[in-house]
């Protein structure tokens, strides 16, 4: 029992459960707990979750990535301009968008590792550079900052398929969660991530390729952000350079709710998944309550604070119990 309690995800799971029960009780007869209501908050959580997992791993290794927001928008615009203005085929454009995401991550990683500047500042700069470049380029090419996407049927199948109201993005989320889980808890690379974030100098002394760990995670984050841009773009038939800007802070927030330490070295993928699910439940469920939405951010903030407190309490309880 204590073995499970001591895992970083236990607090996140408890907080998720508490939040879910709260909204289930606060929204009687509105269908929040129905299949369609569940599909709703899962759709919301899935898109955030896909990028939150690599962001969380990066945070465990002791780094931030705030450039995800503009990478999401950039990927959707690459797909839009490629398929619309240039009339290109969908799949190569998808590969191009993912490559662009990976390259943005590579730049972040190289600059952070070579200059030793805080990644918080480096990636914040990248966030501005990428959205600026996206807007400038798309204005230059097509005189627009958002544009229709014409995706092939096979691409729609892979990125925008729906079972009832559940999006295929939920499967993508689970897939990436599974990969993240395997990597973090079953591989040497996973141990390196913890070691890098725990104490970088002793990790290096012990032979951990700290630079490679960080650069790999930055690239993974960029690719995941581009994937979200592709998913959103194909789903809404439209690219927009501002897609994803909300994720800049939502992704680290859900990682922290999920038990990742802001200082690095501690956290789990399952925890991040529950943190994201909790965020999905709150930001969707709050509208089912029918409360006056002028107060919405106040409720959101209070519920998040409560969830983190509950999470923290459970974790302390777990760590002190024998």
Give residues in contact with another protein (CB under 8 A). 27, 30-32, 36-37, 40-41, 43-44, 47, 84-85, 128, 131-132, 135, 139, 142-148, 165, 232, 235-238, 240-246, 249-250, 283-290, 293-294, 296-297, 300
Q: How far apart, in Å, do the first and last CA atoms of the chain sit? A: 10
In the chain, the largest separation of any two C-alpha atoms, in whole Å, equals 64
Residue 142 burial (CB < 10 Å; 0-12/13-18/19+)?
middle
The dihedrals phi and psi of 28, each to the nearest 5 degrees, come to -65, 135
Residue 154 or 237 with smaller CB distance to another protein: 237
Task: Evaluate whether 229 touches 74 at the Cβ level (below 8 Å).
Answer: yes
> Shortest distance, CB of residue 243 to another protein, whole angstroms?
6
> Shortest distance, CB of residue 1 to another protein, whole angstroms?
36
Residue 48 or 59 with smaller CB distance to another protein: 48
Residue 115 or 165 with smaller CB distance to another protein: 165
Residue 61 or 127 with smaller CB distance to another protein: 127
Among positive and negative, which fits the CA dihedral 291, 294, 300, 306? negative
Residue 111 or 245 with smaller CB distance to another protein: 245
* Cα–Cα distance for residue pair 81/150, rounded to 1 Å: 10
> Shortest distance, CB of residue 53 to another protein, whole angstroms?
17
> Shortest distance, CB of residue 262 to another protein, whole angstroms?
19
> Shortest distance, CB of residue 192 to another protein, whole angstroms?
32
Residue 149 or 260 with smaller CB distance to another protein: 149
Q: Which residues contact 111 (CB under 8 A, 6 or more apart)?
A: 117, 122
> Shortest distance, CB of residue 304 to another protein, whole angstroms?
11
DSSP conformational letter for 294 = G
> Shortest distance, CB of residue 77 to another protein, whole angstroms?
11
| Crossing angle of the two packed helices 296-320 and 9-26, in degrees rounded to 10 | 140
* Cα–Cα distance for residue pair 206/212, rounded to 1 Å: 14
DSSP conformational letter for 264 = S
Residue 266 or 287 with smaller CB distance to another protein: 287
Q: What does the angle CA 52 – CA 196 – CA 309 come to, to the nearest 5 degrees?
A: 50
């Amino acid at each position: 029992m204590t073995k499970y309690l001591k895992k970083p995800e236990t607090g996140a799971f408890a907080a998720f459960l508490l939040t879910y029960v709260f909204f289930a009780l606060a929204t009687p007869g509105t269908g929040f707990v129905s299949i369609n209501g569940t599909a709703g908050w899962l759709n919301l959580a899935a898109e955030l979750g896909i990028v939150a997992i690599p962001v969380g791993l990066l945070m465990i290794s002791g780094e931030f990535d705030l450039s995800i927001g503009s990478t999401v928008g950039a990927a959707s615009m690459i797909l839009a301009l490629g398929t619309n203005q240039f009339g290109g085929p969908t799949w190569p454009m998808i590969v191009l968008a993912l490559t662009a995401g990976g390259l943005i991550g590579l730049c972040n990683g190289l600059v952070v590792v070579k200059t030793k500047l805080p990644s918080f500042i480096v990636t914040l700069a990248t966030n501005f550079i990428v959205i600026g470049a996206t807007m400038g380029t798309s204005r230059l090419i097509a005189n627009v900052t958002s544009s229709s996407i014409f995706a092939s049927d096979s691409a729609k199948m892979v990125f925008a398929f729906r079972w009832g109201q559940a999006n295929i993005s939920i499967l993508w989320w689970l897939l990436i969660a599974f990969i993240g889980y395997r990597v973090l808890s079953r591989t040497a690379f996973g141990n390196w991530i913890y070691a890098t974030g725990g104490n970088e100098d002793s990790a290096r002394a012990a032979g951990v390729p700290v630079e490679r760990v960080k650069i790999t995670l930055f690239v993974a984050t960029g690719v995941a952000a581009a994937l979200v841009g592709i998913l959103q773009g194909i789903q809404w038939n439209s690219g927009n350079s501002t897609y994803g800007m909300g994720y800049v802070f939502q992704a680290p927030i859900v990682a922290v709710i999920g038990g990742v330490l802001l200082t690095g070295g501690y956290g789990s993928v399952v925890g991040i998944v529950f943190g994201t699910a909790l965020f999905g439940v709150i930001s969707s469920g709050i509208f089912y309550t029918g409360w006056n939405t002028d107060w919405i951010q106040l409720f959101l903030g209070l519920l998040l604070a409560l969830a983190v407190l509950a999470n923290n309490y459970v974790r302390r309880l777990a760590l002190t119990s024998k």
